[in-house]
Amino acid sequence: MSITDILSPSDIAAALRDCQAPDSFSPKKFFQISGMSKKSSSQLKEIFRILDNDQSGFIEEDELKYFLQRFECGARVLTTSETKTLLAAADHDGDGKIGAE
């Protein structure tokens, strides 16, 4: 399964266009524009599985740098501050990684 089986390619493109400039990525805004915020729990878990590059069951900080590239291979890498912001927004237990839940 690919991410475009769950999210609209045009919504993904719009979300990527919105954060082309370094330090312009906002997780909440990206999730809204891409349509992720409207997906069911099972669809979000499938997206998580796709984003979990090493299939460890967690998305670690080093994987988050390449978050946008999981949506489109030519997308930019997140900056260090963007990566840390995304991690902080989703790492509820402070272990330095994001679980599917």
DSSP state letter for 100: -
58 is in an annotated binding site: yes
52 is in an annotated binding site: yes
One DSSP character per residue, 13-71 reads HHHHHHT-STT---HHHHHHHHTGGGS-HHHHHHHHHHH-TT-SSEEEHHHHTTTGGGT
54 is in an annotated binding site: yes
11 is in an annotated binding site: no
Residue 59 CA to residue 90 CA, distance in Å, equals 10
Binding-site annotation: residue ranges for Ca(2+): 52, 54, 56, 58, 63, 91, 93, 95, 97
- Please report, in range form, the residues annotated as the binding site: 52, 54, 56, 58, 63, 91, 93, 95, 97
